[in-house]
Amino acid sequence: MKYFFSILFVFFFLSCENDVTGVDDLLDNPLDENQVDYDVPAFVFYPSLFDVSLGQSFQTQIYAMGVENLRGVNVLIEYDETKLSLQNLNNGSLADGTNPLFFTDTDTPGRIEISSVYMSADSGSVDGNLKIAELIFSTISIGSSTIDFMNESEMLDPDDNLIEIKGFAQGVVNAN
C-alpha cells in the first residue's frame, strides 16, 4: 500500500502542468478579419467547419463580411449532392421587412442561388458583416466534403455597380 501511494504521489507531480491551447488555435471565428486568411469584402460561411454524424443535420449562415455601401447580393453556392442534402433555406437580415426582396433557386442538385436586396427608408446601402441567409443541410454519406461560393457570385452597390469580392471562405463538412 505504501508503494501504491508513492506511485500516486509521483504521478501527482508529473501531472501538475496544464495544457494551454495557443491563442491562434482558439481564435477561429470565420468573421474575424484579424485571423482569417482571406481579404474583405468576402462571402463567408459561419460557422465554417462541421463534424457531424451520418444523417445528422447542421446549420450554417452566409455572411457578406466587411462590406461597405452594399445594396444587394447574388450568391451562388455549390456542394456535393451525393454527400449533402439541403433541408431548408431561410432569409437572413440583409433583406428584411414585410416584403423582403429575397429569392432562391435550389432546383439544380448541388447548387443554390440566392438573391437578396437591402431595402430601407433611411439609407440605400449597408456596411459591416451582414447575414444573407441560413442554410440547413443533412449528411447522406460518410466522408469529407466542402460547400463553396462560386466565382460568379456578386455584390452590388446602390448604383448597381459590382463591388469587387476579394475573398470566398469555404465550408468543410466531415460526416462520420
Q: Give me the residues that bind other proteins (CB under 8 A), please.
A: 2-3, 5-6, 9, 13, 16-18, 20, 22-23, 26-29, 31-35, 46-47, 63, 66, 128-129, 131
Using the minimum distance from each CB to other proteins, give the nearer residue, 15 or 151.
15
Rounded to the nearest whole angstrom, what is the least distance from the CB of residue 69 to other proteins in the complex? 16
CA-closest candidate to residue 152, choices 105, 91, 118? 105
Rounded distance between C-alpha atoms, residue 87 and residue 154, angstroms: 24
Rounded to the nearest whole angstrom, what is the least distance from the CB of residue 149 to other proteins in the complex? 18
Run of H or E residues at 72:
strand 72-79
- Our measurement of the distance from residue 171's CA atom to the centroid of its chain's CA atoms, rounded to an integer in Å, reads 6
Cell numbers given for 144: 469529407
Using the minimum distance from each CB to other proteins, give the nearer residue, 21 or 98.
21
Using the minimum distance from each CB to other proteins, give the nearer residue, 24 or 164.
24
Rounded to the nearest whole angstrom, what is the least distance from the CB of residue 119 to other proteins in the complex? 21
Rounded to the nearest whole angstrom, what is the least distance from the CB of residue 13 to other proteins in the complex? 4
Run of H or E residues at 101:
strand 101-105
Radius of gyration of the chain (CA): 22
Cell numbers given for 143: 466522408
Using the minimum distance from each CB to other proteins, give the nearer residue, 65 or 156.
65
